[in-house]
Amino acid sequence: MSVFDGLRFRKIYSPIHNLDPRIKFVYVISIFVCAILFAQIIPLLLLFLLQVPFVLLAKVQRQWIRSLRGASFLAILIFVINIATSYFTSGYHLTPPIIENAAALTLRFVVLVESFSVFFLTTSPDHLGLALEESHVPYEFAFAFTTAVRFVPVLAEEAQTIMDAQKARGLELEKGGLLKRIRNYVPVLIPLIVSAIRRSLELAEAMESRAWGATKNRTNLYLLKLHRGDFALLAITIGILAAAVYIHFYVSIPTITQLIH
């Protein structure tokens, strides 16, 4: 469940936590776009390193590393599949550019994971809901979204209990071939889904008995306002995006293999 750990918000104070969630989201999406723009290893490496100061400023390095570790399985899978497909399609040749290309595409995935992880680690569900509302998303949807985010750790804990209960009935999750292993998870997934549905129905009843949606025009106690830091981040974002687009169209990026030769 370490992937979830990397997305779980913890209440601490840092300059990054205080930033406006909307601007942070624009930043994350920009990094996302940049990562898609490039398939070369050098710009992707730069994008990867660009996140590190944010992580350190936000003091979430431990959870951040845990989320990267959680993503490592998929990263390795991406690497292996890329190597394998290039190997078979290029007529059974394994050349340095093939490896470099596979590494670049893996790094692209890692960049996506790390930027989203920074966003979710430093943005409270309340702020997120507020940001959605102020972006004119209907309150019902904003609420549903924040509730979903809030329930991720609860579900992770429940999944652990269910796994324990089934292990106590002789289920061995790590036994058998790949297909058997996937099938082993059925006794865990069904109770998890059923209890999530049951929980959501109970939550709906509890909310309705507390007059949810009684007034049409809701007001908020806290309102989001842009501060100096937000404008700075916005400027940085626009700078990164502009530089990325410029480099993509007008600069030829060398690969590491070319640099060595």
Partner 1 sequence: MIEAIDVHFSYPNRVEALKGVSITIKDGEFVAIMGQNGAGKSTLVKHFNGLLKPSLGKVRADGVETTKTSVAALSRNVGFVFQNPDHQLFSETVEDEIAFALKNFGFAADVIESRVTWALNLLSLTQYRKTSPFLLSGGERKRVALASVLAWDPKTLILDEPTIGQDHEQKEILRQFILQMQTQGKTVVIVTHDVEFVAESNSRVILMKEGKIVADGVGKDILTDPALLELASIVLPQIAQIFTKLSPLGFPKNIIDIYEAKEIILKAWESRTQK
For the bound state, the minimum distance from the C-beta of residue 159 to partner 1, rounded and expressed in Å, comes to 10
How near is the Cβ of 198 to partner 1 at its closest, in Å? 7
Of the candidate spans 8-16, 44-52, 65-73, 184-192, the one that interacts with partner 1 by CB under 8 A turns out to be 184-192
Q: Is 165 in the site for partner 1 (CB under 8 A)?
A: yes
**Contact status: 194 vs partner 1 (CB under 8 A):** yes
Q: What are phi and psi of 30, to 5 degrees?
A: -65, -45
27 CB contacts (<8 Å, ≥6 apart)? 115, 233, 236, 237
Q: Considering the rule CB under 8 A, would residue 190 count as an interface residue with partner 1?
A: yes
Stretch of 29-37, 56-64, 186-194, 215-223 contacting partner 1, by CB under 8 A: 186-194
On whether the CB atoms of residues 108 and 41 are closer than 8 A, the answer is no
Confirm or reject binding of residue 181 to partner 1 (CB under 8 A). Answer: no
Binding span for partner 1 by CB under 8 A among 6-14, 75-83, 193-201, 217-225: 193-201
Q: Which structure tokens are listed for 68?
A: 């990267």
Give the position of tokens 């490896």. 99
Number of residues that this document lists for the chain: 261
Give which of 250, 252, 243 is closest to 40, Cα–Cα: 252
Residue 166 interacts with partner 1 (CB under 8 A): yes or no: yes
What residues between 100 and 159 interact with partner 1 by CB under 8 A? Answer: 158
Q: In this structure, what token pair is assigned to residue 42?
A: 């050098």
* E strand or H helix that includes residue 131: helix 125-134
Q: How far is the CB of 157 from partner 1 (least distance, A)?
A: 11
Between residue 202 and residue 241, which ones bind partner 1 under the rule CB under 8 A? none
